[in-house]
Amino acid sequence: MCGRFELVSGQRVFTRFRVANPDAALLAMSGIDPHDIRPTQRVLLLTTDRVLTTAKWGLVPSWAKDTKSASKLINARREGIADKPSFRKPLRFQRCIIPASAYFEWQLQSDDKRKVKYRVAPAADDDLFGFAGLYDTWRDRQDRSDPDGATLTTCTIITGAAPAGLAWLHGRTPMALLPEEEERWLDPDLTDPDEIVDLLKPSPADQLDVRAA
């Protein structure tokens, strides 16, 4: 799964993902430690036409009555994703890329019941993950003072089975897109669920740097 990650490479995001609006202010996520990004905080995400924006981490479907699901839908399982009510529409029309320099997992040590924190990053120096994500916009229709309702944009990171060589750490891993497949992932003309899901593959373990944090 992915419950914590970091993004500490600063403006490297702009060049790595060919961002169309390289505004340094977007990198200043007020009040958020870039070394420890947590669910329900705001994260950077890349949408169609490579526009960089922010969203709250934890998907709230547009049809939800309230925002209580945000803390539950931080990840979307690849398996069966095209049929899940919360993800079915975003998978076809509201895909995004969530940049990260690393993510974290905790493993319980059987000898003394300690949890050891591990950092998982691309093996190549200064590289970044481009996590496959989905986003949605929720509107508060209960706010009678605003006829249009307040809006909230939220997102989720797609996960799948961990590759051989990484399952010892955790059975699931974020789906990090290959750079050559990112353009296809963001293509608004791609709406076939089967083709979309085919883009979701785990990073090979030999392309990752895994070490105790």
Catalytically active residues, by annotation: 2, 105
Instruction: Please state the separation of Cα 108 from the chain's center in Å.
Output: 24
CA–CA dist 43, 34 (Å, integer): 10
Region label for 35, one of left (φ > 0), alpha (ψ between -120 and 50) or beta (otherwise): alpha
CB burial readout 144-161, b (16+ within 10 A) else e: eeeeeeeeebbbbbbbbe
CB 209 within 8 Å of CB 125:
no
Which whole-number Å values give the CA distances from 183 to 18, 79, 164, 186, 199, in the listed order? 10, 22, 27, 5, 11
Instruction: Provide φ and ψ at 212, rounded to 5°.
Output: -65, 135
